[in-house]
Amino acid sequence: MGTIFVDNLEPQSGTSLTLGASGDTVGLASGASQTFAVNTPAFLAYGNTGQTASTDTDTVVSLNLEIFDSDGKYDTSTYKFTPTVAGKYFLFGQARLNTDHNFNEFQVNIIKNGSTGLARAGGVYGHYDIFTTSVIADLDADDYVQLTVYQASGSNKDITDNQNLTFFGGYKVIGA
């Protein structure tokens, strides 16, 4: 086996660069890094709005702060993630209400394009419960996703704005 020393590999104009043949593997030396496969776009958002969820109403959760947003695809004013790159995305969300009251129905939902349900966690709410949901979803470049909550307590309830308790995030899945 020989060694080739180069500073840059570029394909000819109009072609792609291929390393190896079908079935070959490409290895990296210990400590080497790779940057050709990345899980972007990616984001993680939370809110500090002191938001209220009305009873018997789907409420988009106001997540107006970002922990990170690799490509600027999460909008902190509309609470929408629009990937602009088609693919499969792992999406996750979590919410908690600021109440110790028990009631029959609470849901945390991830919705696509304002109405299509992608994932839901729901059930009886009891004493500061936290509900979490996740999904791998096919998204087109112009699709958008949001986190919503639904509660049927009979009165309005405040959504917890702690970044460890109510949040929404996602990233593009590599190789899917």
Q: Let me know if residue 87 belongs to a domain.
A: yes
Q: Let me know if residue 125 belongs to a domain.
A: yes
Instruction: Tell me which residue has tokens 């004013």.
Output: 77
Q: Let me know if residue 10 belongs to a domain.
A: no
- For 170, list phi and psi in degrees, rounded to 5: 180, 170
> Per the confidence metrics, is the pTM higher than 0.85?
no
The token duo for 160 is: 């917890």
Q: Let me know if residue 34 belongs to a domain.
A: no
Q: Let me know if residue 129 belongs to a domain.
A: yes
Domain that holds residue 56: 42-172
**Residue-level pLDDT at 35:** 59
Q: Let me know if residue 32 belongs to a domain.
A: no
Q: Let me know if residue 111 belongs to a domain.
A: yes
The larger pLDDT score, comparing residue 14 to residue 129, is at 129
- Number of compact structural domains in the chain: 1
Tell me what the mean pLDDT of segment 54-60 comes to: 96
Q: Supply the CATH number for residue 153's domain.
A: 2.60.120.40
**Residue-level pLDDT at 34:** 63
